[in-house]
Amino acid sequence: MNCPFCKEYLEDSRCKNCGYDLNKCRWVSIKKVYPPDDIIIESMLKASGIPVRLHRREVPQLPVGIGPMAETNIYVPEIIVAEAASLIDSYNNT
């Protein structure tokens, strides 16, 4: 992935170039999706070098065993929200 601030290649959670720290930045939920869209969007964002985190939550109303209906929140660093959102939009429009 790349640093969301300076776009340098990021091998660690902290950017060696500008000091941007993924563990200290604010992560924002940009979209709520369901499988298999979570995997697709995650790999799409990663392919574009965007750091991404998924937070899964089982939907409580549904009985266990009905299938993978866990709702997933897609989180990206606040600084790169616009770029990530437009990528997701382009996926939804195809």
User: Which residues in this chain contact Zn ion in the complex, by CB under 5 A?
Assistant: 3, 5-6, 8, 15, 17-18, 20
Among residues 25 and 54, whose Cβ is nearest to Zn ion?
Answer: 25
Closest to Zn ion by CB, 45 vs 80, is: 80
Shortest reach from residue 22's CB to Zn ion, in Å: 10
Structure tokens, 79: 């600084």
Handedness of CA 90, 36, 38, 57 (dihedral sign): positive
- Judged by beta carbon, residue 8 or residue 89, the one nearer Zn ion is 8
CB of 78 to Zn ion, least distance (A): 15
61-70 long-range Cβ contacts below 8 angstroms, 24+ apart: 68/35, 69/34, 69/35, 70/34, 70/35
Q: Is the distance from CB of 12 to CB of 24 less than 8 angstroms? A: no
In angstroms, what is the minimal distance from the CB of 87 to Zn ion?
19
